[in-house]
């Protein structure tokens, strides 16, 4: 495809106007929305409204502000539910992936008799694995014996059959990523959930790399619980408050880690020492919500409501496919593409393998492309549908082509920076 054909794709793109709603540095190509999404004008506005509410109402902001803080987590939960394919009361905005995992494991990991193990994979993000290990230790089980981590034959992707093979009546809980953070592989959530339920396993998914990038049907797929962050594809900003989902059938179950925000909202200020948990996913909150880090979501999620997650997914698949095609056309044999090719098993980013990935990322940054590097040899490029155009994707590949052909990356050290 040449540049003019690619420009046509942008002209026909129904989502193209959303790009103007985001702050994008002039002359830059932002391909890192899978680590930290960009700020939208609507998210900026809703944060400023919460600051105004504080300014104008002080403590009364909890109930009488323009965006009452007391109900904000529930409101955002309701707005996020369609993206998770959940009922409104199954979702709450709270915590981070890791703290929410601790909460839901404390609630749902109940080892009994021979059923003591946790099933996970060897490629998940370290924080998830640390949480699983520490929960096992808290129950007095050695992670070496009780954490099953399904391996990968190529080091980048998982075979669903291998995961199913490890399921047994000794497994209490399974936790998997929906989309793997390095390779961008999308697992078949429905199939894995069904298989695990056949063994009576409680199923949790980490949607870090899929929420806001592609649709889910957690409720219909019968997934027991899920966690996610919102600073990636949902554009809530650094430290933005995460989210969790608990299937309706489990609601009413006492939170493993209780706090006063686990309370039914009308009872919370009774200040009773006997907790009456909310009958919604709100029960899995713990303490006071981080209002200023939640408020951006009120604006940001409006964009998702308008644009529609199916349209976002459709464009995202076209963008990642275009990127891969251009890389194969212009940079033949230079990189190994680690992400799956099929639409149904590909998330929102392209994952390139190269032994000098760290220095190539530095060269890209020096030319205005923001990629991200994952140790030891992965370059992740996320053309986010809401603010990356087809032409941006083309330009980015052309910049990469020049860097590789002229070996510009050789001027940089092939080592990761402190944050990468
Ligand atoms: C981004 C990410 C995290 C980060 O966890 P936080 O608790 O939000 O800091 C955890 N797990 C996965 C899979 C991630 O992609």
Q: Tell the CATH topology of 3-30+308-411.
A: 3.90.1150
Separation of 209 CA from ligand 1 center, angstroms? 9
For ligand 1, atom 13: residue with the closest CA: 125
- For position 135, what pLDDT does the model report? 98
Q: How do 117-121 and 171-177 pair as beta strands?
A: parallel
291 with 76: CB under 8 angstroms? Answer: no
Ligand 1, CB within 6 Å, residue ranges = 96-98, 125, 127-128, 177, 181, 206, 208-209, 229, 242
Separation of 256 CA from ligand 1 center, angstroms? 21
Q: Is the confidence at residue 420, as pLDDT, over 90?
A: no
Separation of 269 CA from ligand 1 center, angstroms? 33
The residues, any chain, with a CB within 8 Å of residue 67's CB and separated by 6 or more, are 46, 49, 50, 53, 75, 295, 298
- For position 417, what pLDDT does the model report? 82
Separation of 110 CA from ligand 1 center, angstroms? 24
Q: Is the confidence at residue 393, as pLDDT, over 80?
A: yes
Instruction: Return the CATH number of the domain spanning residue range 46-306.
Output: 3.40.640.10
CA dist 50 and 46 (Å) reads 6
Tokens representing 21 are 């709603």
Q: pTM for the full model?
A: 0.97
Tokens representing 197 are 């339920």
User: Domain ranges in the chain?
Assistant: 3-30+308-411, 46-306
- Going by pLDDT thresholds of 50, 70 and 90, the confidence category of residue 313 is very high
Q: Which of 181, 213, 240, 348 to mutate to test the pocket of ligand 1 (most atoms within 8 A of CB)?
A: 181
For ligand 1, atom 12: residue with the closest CA: 125
- For position 165, what pLDDT does the model report? 98
**Chain segment 321-366, per-residue pLDDT in tens:** 999 999 999 999 999 999 999 999 999 999 999 999 999 999 999 9
- For position 38, what pLDDT does the model report? 98
Q: Do domains 3-30+308-411 and 46-306 have the same CATH topology?
A: no
184 with 342: CB under 8 angstroms? Answer: no
Separation of 207 CA from ligand 1 center, angstroms? 9
Q: Average pLDDT of 251-269? A: 97
Q: Is the confidence at residue 106, as pLDDT, over 90?
A: yes
Nearest one of 383, 273, 365, 377 to 321, comparing CA atoms? 383
Tokens representing 13 are 């793109």
**Chain segment 151-171, per-residue pLDDT in tens:** 999 999 999 999 999 999 999
């Amino acid at each position: 495809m040449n540049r003019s054909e690619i420009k046509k794709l942008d002209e026909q793109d129904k989502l193209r106007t959303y790009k103007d709603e985001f702050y994008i540095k002039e002359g830059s190509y932002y391909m890192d929305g899978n680590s930290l999404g960009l700020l939208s004008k609507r998210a900026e506005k809703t944060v400023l409204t919460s600051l105004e509410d504080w300014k104008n109402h002080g403590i009364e902001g909890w109930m009488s502000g323009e965006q009452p803080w007391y109900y904000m987590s529930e409101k955002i939960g309701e707005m996020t539910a369609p993206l998770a394919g959940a009922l409104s009361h199954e979702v709450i905005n709270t915590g981070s992936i890791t703290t929410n995992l601790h909460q839901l494991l404390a609630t749902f990991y109940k080892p009994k008799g021979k059923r003591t193990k946790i099933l996970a994979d060897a490629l998940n993000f370290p924080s998830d694995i640390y949480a699983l290990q520490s929960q096992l230790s808290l129950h007095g089980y050695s992670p070496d014996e009780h954490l099953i981590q399904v391996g990968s034959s190529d080091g980048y992707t998982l075979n669903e059959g291998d995961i199913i093979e490890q399921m047994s009546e000794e497994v209490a809980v399974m936790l998997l990523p929906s989309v793997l953070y390095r390779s961008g592989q999308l697992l078949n959530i429905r199939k894995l959930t069904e298989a695990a339920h056949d063994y009576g396993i409680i199923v949790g998914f980490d949607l870090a790399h899929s929420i806001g990038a592609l649709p889910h049907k957690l409720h219909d797929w019968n997934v027991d619980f899920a966690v996610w962050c919102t600073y990636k594809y949902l554009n809530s900003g650094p430290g933005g408050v995460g989210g969790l989902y608990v299937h309706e059938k489990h609601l009413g179950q006492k939170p493993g880690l209780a706090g006063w925000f686990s309370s039914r909202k009308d009872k919370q200020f009774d200040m009773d020492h006997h907790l009456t948990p909310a009958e919604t996913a709100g029960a899995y909150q713990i303490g006071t919500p981080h209002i200023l880090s939640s408020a951006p979501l009120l604006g940001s999620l409006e964009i998702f409501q308008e644009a529609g997650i199916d349209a976002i997914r459709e464009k995202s698949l076209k963008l990642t496919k275009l990127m891969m095609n251009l890389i194969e056309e212009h940079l033949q044999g230079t990189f190994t593409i680690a992400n799956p090719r099929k639409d149904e098993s590909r998330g929102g980013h392209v994952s390139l393998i190269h032994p000098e990935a760290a220095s190539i990322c530095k060269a890209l940054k020096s030319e205005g492309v923001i990629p991200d590097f994952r140790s030891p040899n992965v370059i992740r490029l996320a053309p986010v549908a809401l603010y990356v155009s087809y032409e941006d994707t083309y330009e980015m590949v052309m910049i990469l082509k020049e860097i590789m052909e002229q070996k510009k990356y050789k001027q940089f050290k092939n080592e990761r920076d402190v944050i990468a």
